[in-house]
């Protein structure tokens, strides 16, 4: 299989199903996350609004938020050789939620496994099934949502912590409604 074919499969599985949450699913996810206890609700909202990985969200501390700038500072945990930080703008309401959970150790006092289960349960409550019903589906949904809203690719790259713009370009390979939205720009 050639590189271009592999790249187009990154956001779709072999059956052509998308691997990202679309706009409607993202809204349902947020609505159902709002019914959770404050810490789990905030955790789901962090994943939604930052596109970060579970481990990155669990590592957030009070030092990770800047209320005056409206951003969260996320350490990219995927690069083992050096610490890389990225700054992601988020709604002020999320920062206030996090500041109310504040403890010196961190915002979320649960394990990675519990975090995964929380997300899976919210997906189930939101009637989101398939390949996209994962934390990675949220991350990919963040990237596709920004791509369809014409967010510059370099910003998406920075917010997701990608070392290469080639990695970020996969979010331009949307399907369904998102693909039509790209086409409508020329209509």
Q: What pLDDT shows up at residue 4?
A: 44
- 53, 77 contact by CB (below 8 A): yes
Q: How confident is the model at residue 161 (pLDDT cuts 50, 70, 90)?
A: confident
Q: Which of 37-51, 52-66, 126-140, 160-174 is predicted least confidently?
A: 160-174
Q: Where are the alpha helices (DSSP H) in the chain?
A: 3-9, 23-33, 38-50, 54-58, 92-101, 112-125, 135-148, 153-160, 165-168, 177-184
Q: What is the CATH number of the domain that holds 129?
A: 1.10.443.10
Number of structural domains in the chain? 1
186 inside domain: no
Q: What is the pLDDT of residue 186?
A: 59
State pLDDT tens for residues 54-82: 999 999 999 999 999 999 999 886 656 67
**Any domain includes 156:** yes
Mean pLDDT of 104-119: 92
Q: Is residue 76 part of a domain?
A: yes
Residue in 119, 108, 90 with CA at minimum distance from that of residue 29: 119
Query: Is 1 part of any domain?
Result: no
Looking at residue 84, what is its pLDDT?
79
Query: What is the per-residue pLDDT for 168?
Result: 81
Domain assignment present for 57: yes
Please check whether residue 131 is in contact with residue 137, taking contact to mean a CB–CB distance below 8 angstroms: yes
Given a cut of 80, whether residue 174 has pLDDT beyond it is: no
- CA-based angle 34:97:159, to the nearest 5? 90
Residue 172 lies in a domain: yes
101 in a structural domain? yes
Tell me which residue range forms the domain holding 97.
Answer: 6-180
- Is pLDDT at 9 greater than 60 in this prediction? no
Provide the pLDDT confidence category of residue 112 given band limits of 50, 70 and 90: very high
Average pLDDT over the chain, rounded to an integer: 84
Q: What is the pLDDT of residue 119?
A: 97
**Is 187 within a domain?**
no
Q: What pTM, to 2 d.p., does this model score?
A: 0.83
Residue 110 token pair: 């649960």
The DSSP 8-state label assigned to residue 173 in this structure reads: -
């Amino acid at each position: 299989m050639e590189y271009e074919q592999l790249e187009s499969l990154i956001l779709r599985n072999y059956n052509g199903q998308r691997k990202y949450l679309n706009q409607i699913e993202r809204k349902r996810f947020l609505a159902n996350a709002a019914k959770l206890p404050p810490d789990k609700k905030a955790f789901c909202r962090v994943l939604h609004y930052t596109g970060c990985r579970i481990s990155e969200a669990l590592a957030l501390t009070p030092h990770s938020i800047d209320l005056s700038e409206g951003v969260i500072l996320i350490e990219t945990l995927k690069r083992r050789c050096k610490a890389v930080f990225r700054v992601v703008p988020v709604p002020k309401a999320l920062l206030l939620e996090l500041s109310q959970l504040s403890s010196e150790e961190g915002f979320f006092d649960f394990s990675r496994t519990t975090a995964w289960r929380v997300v899976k349960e919210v997906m189930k409550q939101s009637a989101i099934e398939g390949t996209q019903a994962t934390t990675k589906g949220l991350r990919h949904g963040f990237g596709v949502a920004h791509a369809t809203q014409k967010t510059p690719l370099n910003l998406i790259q920075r917010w997701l912590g990608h070392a290469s713009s080639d990695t970020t370009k996969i979010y331009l390979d949307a399907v369904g409604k998102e693909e039509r939205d790209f086409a409508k720009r020329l209509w």
